[in-house]
Amino acid sequence: MPDINNKKPSEKGEEQEHMEDKENMPEENQETVTAEKEIQGDIEKLQKQLSEAESLVKSYKDRLLRLAAEFENFKKRVEIDRADFIKFSNEKIIRDLIPILGDFERALAISTQNSDNESFRKGIELIYQKLFKLLEDNGLKPIESIGKEFDVMYHDVLMQVPRQGVKSDTIVEEVERGYTLHGKVIKHAKVIVASPAQDNSHREERKN
């Protein structure tokens, strides 16, 4: 092991000078190093705060977009409800006028059978057509029934009757006309439908 004490005088002098340089480092350099460390620490803190702020902004942006979409859907629902309210605001009065429309139809049917009062029949028909046109312009539409297959959404069955060559559940007679208002059923049609075809094989067996 080399003996430290055996160093040459020149080597001892250089080492001593180096130690003295460190000890005699200017205070300004030490302060600079400390300041740099503090600045680096502040930068790291600011970067962390910036990252947190960006995450928060993204969260608020997503929430704002969701709220905007919900508000747009709410606006559409309000517009639809408003349009429906306007569309069906006269539903009650139209419902009340439907029986009167039926009275006119029956009066026309009776007057057609009696040719003595042709001018009277034409007068009734004219009033009926004006009333029907007024209701039609406000969204009223008769439900087609005769020859159609029974549909519980539009028809009320009063009875079933046998009909040769007619498919079961086909409407063969309309007792009272039904109506829709802007596509909504406000009065079901009262109808008579064809009953299921009867099997005649049992009758033939009984005769034999």
pLDDT score, position 4 = 46
C-alpha distance across the termini of the chain, in Å = 138
* Same domain (yes/no): 151, 184: yes
Say which residues have a Cβ less than 8 Å from residue 179's Cβ, sequence separation at least 6.
Answer: 98, 140, 141, 142, 143, 185, 186, 187
* Same domain (yes/no): 152, 126: no
Tokens 């005088």, residue located: 9
Q: Which amino acid is at 83?
A: A
CA-atom Rg of the chain in angstroms:
49
User: What does the alpha-carbon distance between residue 14 and residue 208 come to, in Å, rounded to a whole number?
Assistant: 143
Domain annotation covers residue 186? yes
At 72, list the tokens. 């747009």
Domain annotation covers residue 19? no
Does the model's pTM come out above 0.75?
no
Q: CA distances (Å), 14 to each of 3, 8, 19, in order?
A: 17, 10, 9
pLDDT score, position 51 = 87
* Same domain (yes/no): 94, 131: yes
pLDDT score, position 6 = 53
Q: What is the pLDDT along the chain (208 residues), one digit of tens a residue?
A: 445 455 455 555 555 555 555 455 555 677 777 777 788 888 888 888 888 888 888 888 888 999 999 989 998 999 888 888 888 888 899 999 999 998 888 888 887 776 667 777 888 888 899 999 999 999 999 999 999 999 999 999 999 999 888 899 999 999 999 999 999 999 999 999 998 866 444 444 444 4
At 165, list the tokens. 């060559």
* Same domain (yes/no): 162, 119: no
Contact (CB, 8 A) for 128 and 103 = no
Domain annotation covers residue 108? yes
User: What does the alpha-carbon distance between residue 107 and residue 105 come to, in Å, rounded to a whole number?
Assistant: 5
In terms of residue numbers, what domain contains 113? 90-138
At 162, list the tokens. 């046998």
pLDDT score, position 175 = 93
